[in-house]
Amino acid sequence: MSKPVVLIAETLSSATIDALGPDFEVRHVDGTDRPALLAALADAQALLVRSATQVDAEALAAAPSLQVVARAGVGLDNVDVPAATKAGVMVVNAPTSNIISAAELAIAHILGLARHLPEAHASLKAGEWKRSQFTGVELYEKTIGIVGLGRIGVLVAERLAGFGVRLIAFDPYVSPARAAQLGVELRSLDELMAESDFITIHIPRTPETTGLIAAPQLALAKPSLRIVNASRGGIVDEAALADALREGRIAGAGLDVFVSEPPKDDALTSLPTIQVTPHLGASTDEAQEKAGVAVARSVRLALAGDLVPDAVNVAGGVIDPYVRPGIGLAERLGQFAAGLAAGPVESVDVEVHGDLAQYDVKVLRLGALKGFFSRIVSEQGVTFVNAPVIAQERGVTSELTVDERSDEYRNTVSVIAATSDGQRVSVTGTLTGPKQTAKIVSINGHDVEVPFAAHHVVMTYEDRPGIVAIYGRAFGEADINIAGMQIARTTAGGKALSILTVDQAAPEALLAEIGDAIQADSIREIDIVEA
């Protein structure tokens, strides 16, 4: 019997080949030579790439035997994951391969800013000797703020502790107990901006985090603040940062990432108080080797039909066809529960009721965790396999309960999140009709029946006349269409819950205005990203 063909389309370390072992026929092709790539894919079972090879629908169509695409790195911009999923091809990457390199680069930026290393280097290389111009500051006893305590943020905290600094952090999804274990004090973002001498950012760029640090936040900073972003471009508003640097309202900035890469102009990069690097977070020999070895191991598992820890688009294992439609439901419920939760979460539990209880439904808990943490985790893509690990790292417990009894629906799935301050949020969903439409049927004990959509607004308030008119008018004046609405209450004149389906995301300022107008106990805009 011939060996499975593993096609390597870009230069990878020799350790990658060694990790594959002798069980495969390894072939090489230049992935940027399109005709050669398409021809070589004809009998390949696995394809290993970095960032230059485009793995799109055309390439997948040329590979009828392909089982797995492995990207030796973190990003997947060059791999059409939906097309691969449709073709039944597993996609894997190496989500943790660069975390040490990224953490060390952030610290390098902090040290460079503290001691003016780029400017001093350039001055001396130019034949100058201007020691007095490059007087810096010590890190010792300074306050360093970390935005995001995910894997990289934790590594940064551990390494900075040796400098004798005071560590504070902003991360709404980390419990005080977990932060205390790391020697970190939790703060609100505004508090962190006001207290920090240095800030380093380690969160993903999402609609919620884009522009997270903008003019209002920079206005709170000390004049001595130095801010580092080696995470994702756009989290710091570049125009606001340029203004703050130009006007001397903060002391410096170190950037490895930008909104446009390379930057479209030098309005920011040319400022004398900024040091910049061209997205070097993963650019070390060690990170590249780790990435190659990690995906080689994943390829071995995939071609053996085993569970793959870094699979992006496959849960792994055998899933009963009756259970499979519930995976997407569980993911959406997890996203919704994350949107409802306020503050650090200590547990995310899943309950399954009805006929589904007769099957192995562990994947539904994984789906709920994947959906929950996909809204908040920074460095790596959340998969069915790594979601429990992420929960464990953040001190979040998770239990699955099954019960064949279901009073109103054939099957229901519930996601219940408990926060460290004793609050509890829950959302229950089901699949209905021939098309298996995913619907929300309960929120915090209030009965509703609302199909999932891209944008929802959930508010609770004292039930009284005129409330609907107030928020209906506010949305109308903001030119936001309400596509659907349900109101649930336990007793007349008691607490009411409204869930709206809206055609576009509602700005935070509008939600705050509505919340004040109706004296809401809570009001939240929850976006659902389809799995």
The residue ranges of every structural domain in the chain are 5-93+285-303, 99-276, 315-426, 453-531
Would you put residue 504 in left (φ > 0), alpha (ψ -120 to 50) or beta? beta
232 labelled catalytic: yes
* Helical H segments across 262-404, by residue range: 285-303, 325-340, 362-374, 386-393
Q: 5-93+285-303 and 99-276 share one CATH topology?
A: yes
Would residue 58 show up in a list of annotated catalytic residues for this protein?
no
261 is annotated as an active-site residue: yes
The residues near 523 (Cβ < 8 Å, ≥ 6 apart) are 457, 458, 459, 460, 511, 514, 515
Q: Which residues of 90-111 are buried (b: 16+ CB within 10 A; e: fewer)?
A: bbbbbbbbbbbbbbbbbbbbbe
Catalytic residue among 261, 286, 404, 408: 261
Burial 226-251 (b: 16+ CB within 10 A, else e): bbbbbbbbbbbbbebbbebbeeeebb
Q: Count each helix (H run) and each strand (E run) in the chain, helices first.
A: 17, 22
Contact 166, 120 (CB under 8 A): no
Q: Which entry of 115, 205, 279, 489 is annotated as an active-site residue?
A: 279
Question: Which CATH class for the 99-276 domain?
Answer: alpha beta
CA distance 345 to 335: 13
Instruction: From first to last of the 531 residues of the chain, give the pLDDT tens digit.
Output: 689 999 999 988 889 999 998 999 999 999 999 999 999 999 999 999 988 899 999 999 999 999 899 999 877 879 998 888 778 788 999 888 889 999 999 999 999 999 999 999 999 999 999 999 999 999 999 999 999 998 899 999 999 999 999 999 999 888 898 999 999 999 999 999 999 999 999 988 888 889 999 999 999 999 999 999 999 899 999 999 999 999 999 999 999 999 988 998 888 999 999 999 999 998 899 998 999 999 999 999 888 866 576 788 765 555 677 888 898 999 999 999 999 997 789 999 999 999 999 988 888 998 899 899 988 875 545 766 567 878 888 889 999 999 999 988 999 999 999 988 888 999 999 999 888 899 999 999 999 999 999 999 999 999 999 999 999 999 999 999 999 999 998 777 788 999 999 999 999 999 999 999 999 999 999 999 875
pTM of the model: 0.69
| Closest residue by Cα to residue 347 from 286, 420, 285, 297 | 420
User: Which one is catalytic: 151, 202, 226, 232?
Assistant: 232
CATH of segment(s) 5-93+285-303: 3.40.50.720
**CATH architecture under which domain 315-426 falls:** 2-Layer Sandwich (3.30)
User: Around Cβ 289, how many Cβ atoms within 10 Å?
Assistant: 18
Of 374, 329, 336, the closest CA to residue 352 belongs to 329
What's the pLDDT score for residue 378?
57
CATH code for the structural domain at 453-531? 3.30.70.260
